Structure 1
Amino acid sequence: MHNRIHGITPLVLRQQLVEGLWNKPAFILSVILDELRKPKDERLQWLLWVDRDTIVLNPCVPVEAFLPPAEEEDVHMVVTKDWNGLNNGVFLVRVNEWAVELFSDILGFPYHRPDVELRFTEQSAMEKLLDEDKFRDNTVYVPQRWFNAYQGRDDEKLEPFQTRRGDFLVHFAGVGDRSKEMEYWLNIAEKHAPDWMLDFYRTAYPAETEEFWRNYADQE
């Protein structure tokens, strides 16, 4: 439903390009290269990557709500962190040469730096690279709940990273029995209940994103 509302054409990873979890950056790199071959006015400007263990809860939330303001031309990556550091289950990347360099370096990481421990494989490689001078200044970490929230039930005291009514999606990173937990949230999503499927202007996002990017600009 979200794609239909906002006119988004999904690109789905359905085949093995390289081994294991490295298939993800390989696919993203291939998509970016395909886009850069097109005339500039026909290219995608940004990509939203979403792991398959996510559920959109509020299709009224537009992806562009999380993008940097137009004047922040040097921001090419918008990501989030959890207690383990970078979580790249959901993130936004600008379609440009910077992204080509990043995902090329991610794919080459285990070959060029075989002695570096990568606890979370390609995610750890991405985190280490984003912390280097080459990529750091073009990367912005935003509040996790914006587009990479983890589950929280109504009877719990919700943490800042846990999803609330009206939020965009819920991500099940690190959850053991995903099928059971995802079934619960799929039932919520499929009901399209008005207290979850809020119009965008009624969510916390407009005020939160405006304040975040204003503070970001003030710190530059």
Structure 2
Amino acid sequence: MLVRSLRKSPLVLLFLALCAFLGWHKSGYSLVPAASKSDAVSSNKGPKTPRIAVVTFITDEKSYVHLSLKNKDHYARRHGYDFVVDYEAHTDRGTTYWKFNMMERLIKTNKWDWIWWVDFDTLITNTDIKVADIIEETLRNATVPDDIDYLTTHDCNGLNTGSFLVRGHERSIKFLHDIYTISDHAKKTTEHGLSEQDSMAKIIADDKASGARTMQVPQWKLNAFPKEIACFDKSEQVWEPGMFVIHFAGAWAHVKGEDPTGQLMTKYKDEIIWGDWKNFYE
């Protein structure tokens, strides 16, 4: 009798179907397929990608301004990093000290986890490589990774500040101020003062806290030199195709010509692994 009455009453069937749906939904089941639900959970796993600023400055005309800017801007766009350039330097300590002023200014914004300083006379020759991966790989060797604030490289003369990383933390501001103090003291007590590189090296060497927060990255990995500038760290590794960065430090002392750095920039620009610009310009 019930079956016959239901067949004759479509409204009753619709009512029962609606009740069944509401009861099933209330019981906690989701209309999202199981695979999609799982994917949503897994997407939240894994290490957080650090916020990185690629930083440099150029204060005068050079033959390679466009190439250097294009290269670093392309790299930053490709990996979602920020690219910061200053075109003026206002410091009474010497122009090269402006890199520390820039870093302090950027750290205070609290926008970035790491600041990558890279000199203007450099080319990122393999834009496939993420500097975030270099940070991660280096910190794996630290006892307490969160305590490491400075990743530096050396050449044949010791510390080289052409390419190094500073954590975007208030501790780093104190470190920069200590460098200023060393610089100002040297300026008062010596005839020529200290370069920004020598001041930073002195702080790392003399201050135990700063030294403990510093890790050295192999030169070839973050700041490689070409064969024309044979001033390598203890690895004695010359730049090779496929390496991350090439730095033409002190080209004027190693290469003859009116524009040594420009000549090397032109020579090595065809070695750059760019990646497809369409992936991040469109």
- In 2, the alpha carbon distance for the partners of 1:126 and 1:167 equals 26
Match of 1:86 in 2: 159
Measure how far apart 1:160 and its partner are. Answer: 3.3
Aligned positions, number: 180
5+ residue gaps, structure 1, are 36-42, 154-158, 194-220
- In 1, the alpha carbon distance for the partners of 2:204 and 2:191 equals 16
For each residue in 1:85-128, what CA deviation from the matched residue of structure 2 results, as whole angstroms up to 9, or x when unmatched? Answer: 10010001111122101111212322234336878611100000
Whether the 8 Å CA contact 2:128–2:274 is kept in 1: the answer is: no
Amino acid at match of 1:186: K
Whether the 8 Å CA contact 2:224–2:239 is kept in 1: the answer is: yes
Match of 1:97 in 2: 170
Match of 2:261 in 1: 178
Measure how far apart 1:152 and its partner are. Answer: 2.9
Measure how far apart 1:29 and its partner are. Answer: 1.3
Q: Which has the higher helix share?
A: 2
Match of 1:204 in 2: none
Q: Which moved more, 1:90-99 or 1:115-124?
A: 115-124
When residues 185 and 117 of structure 1 are mapped into structure 2, their CA distance, relative to the original with a 3 A threshold, is: farther
Identity %: 27
Measure how far apart 1:16 and its partner are. Answer: 1.8
* Match 1:24 to one of 99, 106, 122: 99
Give TM-score, length-normalised by structure 2.
0.59
Whether the 8 Å CA contact 2:99–2:117 is kept in 1: the answer is: no
SS in structure 2 of the partner of residue 73 of structure 1: helix
Q: Output aligned runs, 1:42-81, within 5 Å.
A: 43-67=111-135, 68-69=139-140, 72-81=145-154
- In 1, the alpha carbon distance for the partners of 2:191 and 2:270 equals 39
For each residue in 1:23-79, what CA deviation from the matched residue of structure 2 results, as whole angstroms up to 9, or x when unmatched? Answer: 2211111111222xxxxxxx3111111000000111000011211239511111110
- In 2, the alpha carbon distance for the partners of 1:111 and 1:136 equals 21
Whether the 8 Å CA contact 2:119–2:163 is kept in 1: the answer is: yes
SS in structure 2 of the partner of residue 15 of structure 1: coil
Q: Output aligned runs, 1:122-137, within 5 Å.
A: 122-131=196-205, 132-137=207-212
Measure how far apart 1:166 and its partner are. Answer: 1.4
Amino acid at match of 2:247: H
- In 1, the alpha carbon distance for the partners of 2:173 and 2:145 equals 20
- State the Cα RMSD in Å: 2.2
Measure how far apart 1:165 and its partner are. Answer: 2.0
- In 1, the alpha carbon distance for the partners of 2:109 and 2:204 equals 23
- In 2, the alpha carbon distance for the partners of 1:13 and 1:165 equals 30
- In 1, the alpha carbon distance for the partners of 2:274 and 2:148 equals 34
Q: Say whether 1:112 aligns with 2:185.
A: yes
Whether the 8 Å CA contact 2:220–2:239 is kept in 1: the answer is: yes
Whether the 8 Å CA contact 1:17–1:27 is kept in 2: the answer is: no
